[in-house]
Copies of this chain bind each other. A is one copy, B any other.
Amino acid sequence: MQNAPVVDIKPYVDQMIADRRHLHKRPEIGWCEFETMAYVVERLEKLGIFSLEMGRDIINVESALGRDEEAVKAAEERALQHGVSQAFLDKLHGYTGVIATWDSGRPGKTLAVRFDMDALPVMESDSDDHEPTREGFASERPGRMHACGHDGHTSVGLAVAHWVKDHQDELCGKIKILFQPAEEGVRGAAAVAASGKLDDADMFLASHVGTEAREGEVKVLRNGFLATTKFDIYFEGRSAHAGSEPEKGRSALSAACACVLAMQGIPRHGEGDSRIAIGTMVAGEGRNVVPAHAKIEMEVRGATTEVNKFMADEACRLVEGISAGYGVKPTIVKTGDAAVYECDDECVDILLDSAKCVDGLKTVVEYSTTKGSEDASMLAKRVRDCGGKAGFFIFGCNHKGHHRADFDIQDKKSLPVGLAVMVGAIARVLKK
């Protein structure tokens, strides 16, 4: 790859760090990112070159997984109290997420890049060992925390937008910058994908901070993550006094237990690794009452999208059949969905090339992984199904573990790397 563009991201770093720390103080969980949205949209509008589509306009409502209407209402309420305007909320129709599109007017590729915005229900560490606490930008909301670095992702996205504005004369084609809701629980991407808003993308790129990369490392994905589907399953039986007329009851708890044992016994798959996890169960109303209600939270995974589908299909069939056997009515709600992330050679090459031009990195390698899941895979799959290509990379930080109270990304060291690799890739794809 000759004439690799030289990109200078220094002008964007201070603002990016400031953005990240602003967002870190105001974490919002998935589907509830209203203040984050207001912050992002205000910044994008100020740049003046992007056309914005947002809220329900970029969400296929039927594919919006794991969205709790009550939590959304409460989040809107709180956003109002924190200065977000009713007019802005009205534009969203209850849904978060925004796509900022800039069209150079010149022929070229359409490139989509994606950044996620949501936080987690984690109580942030108040130890002085923890940078956000020590430096005064820890979460202001007890029990909510950016414990997976999406605050950093959003800040990188804003810096990318800024860079695009400053370099518009050097670029051709079109760029779509997606700020996605509800990545945690792999809930949000499916709904954006189903909206069709990225179907015209020739290429799709995304990234994550941390995970399997340490400080000074960039790893470009070849093939990765386990495909996964999450389900909440509700069982509705019939109550009865367990002492005097047990025969009149239909135990939702019993049906749920039988389903648990049966689902865990779904056969291994000859074509690749699989997982099934029944994470929680809550069932019953009282010691001496036949339990009329039970709920389980579960997930399946697969080394391929097909293996994952096999697991999900088997689980659903078992639940339907066994519940019928117990005379209990099951309701299966899909609350999350992610595919295997399959990358194209072209994207891998571009990202490797871009990363190799970043100063000070110790390691730039290709990698494959079967750890964890990432719902950008749903967008990558959609783009590839429409004929486009997809890529993904991770940029390192010396974190202590994601989703923990003491998770931190050392933003000044990590975010510039993420920005540089992404901007370098954009420059390569959209250079005139």
Which listed residue, B242, B260, B264, touches A279 by the CB 8 Å rule?
A: B242
**Across-interface contacts of A372 in B (CB, < 8 A):** 243-244
Contact indicator B278/A373 (Cβ below 8 Å): no
Q: Which residues of chain A from 281 to 331 have any CB-CB distance to chain B below 8 Å in the complex? A: 281-291, 294, 297-299, 301, 310, 317-327
Contacts of A264 in B (CB 8 A): 254, 264-265, 267
Question: Could you tell me which residues of chain A, from 227 to 251, have a CB within 8 Å of some CB in chain B?
Answer: 228, 230, 242-249, 251
Name which of A246, A285, A372 has the most chain B CB atoms within 10 A of its CB. A246
Query: Is A275 on the interface with B (CB-CB < 8 A)?
Result: yes
Chain B residue at minimal CB-CB distance from A279:
B287
Can you give 8 A-B contacts (C-beta < 8 A)? A185-B287, A243-B373, A247-B267, A249-B267, A254-B260, A268-B273, A279-B285, A319-B325
Report which of B248, B274, B299, B325 forms a contact with A318, defined as CB distance below 8 A.
B325
* Count of identical protomers in the assembly: 4
B residues less than 8 Å from A167 (CB atoms): none
Q: Is A80 an interface residue (CB 8 A)?
A: no
Nearest chain-B residue to A316 (Cβ)? B325
A291 to B274: give the CA distance in the assembly, Å: 19
| Chain B, residue nearest A325 (CB) | B321
Q: A243-B372, A282-B281 are in contact. Are A262 and B258 (CB under 8 A)?
A: yes
Verify B254–A261 contact, CB threshold 8 A.
yes
Chain B residues, Cβ within 8 Å of A256: 257, 281
A281 lies within 8 A of B280 (CB): no
Interface size in chain A (residues, C-beta < 8 A): 67
Contact of A253 among B281, B284, B320 (CB under 8 A): B281
Interface presence of A277 (CB below 8 A): yes
- A226 at interface, CB cutoff 8 A: yes
- Determine whether A78 belongs to the interface, using a CB cutoff of 8 Å to chain B: no
List B contacts of A400 (CB < 8 A).
none
The answer, among B244, B267, B285, B286, for a CB contact under 8 Å with A270, is B244
Contact with B along A174-209 (1 / 0, CB 8 A): 000000000001000000000000000000000000
Please give, as numbers and ranges, the residues of chain B lying within 8 Å of A244 by CB-CB distance.
Answer: 270, 371-372
Binary CB contact string for chain A from 365 to 408 against chain B (1 if under 8 A, 0 otherwise) = 00000011100000000000000000000000000000000000
Asked if residues A371 and B258 are in contact (CB atoms below 8 Å), the reply is: no
The reply on A134 being an interface residue by CB < 8 A is no
The complex places the Cα of A297 from the Cα of B373 at a distance, in Å, of 36
A243 near B284: Cβ-Cβ < 8 Å: no
The docked-state distance in angstroms from the alpha carbon of A380 to that of B408 is: 48
Interface residues of A in 60-79 (CB under 8 A from B): none
How far is it, in angstroms, between the C-alpha of A317 and the C-alpha of B178 when the chains are bound?
Answer: 51
Are B280 and A285 closer than 8 Å at their CB atoms? yes
Q: A299 to B287, Cβ gap below 8 A?
A: yes
Q: Contacts A246-B267, A260-B257, A321-B325 given: A287-B282 contact, CB under 8 Å?
A: no
- CB of A269 closer than 8 Å to a CB of B: yes
| Distance A324 CA – B323 CA, assembled complex (angstroms) | 10
Query: Taking A243-B371, A244-B371, A321-B326 as contacts, is the C-beta distance between A268 and B262 under 8 angstroms?
Result: no
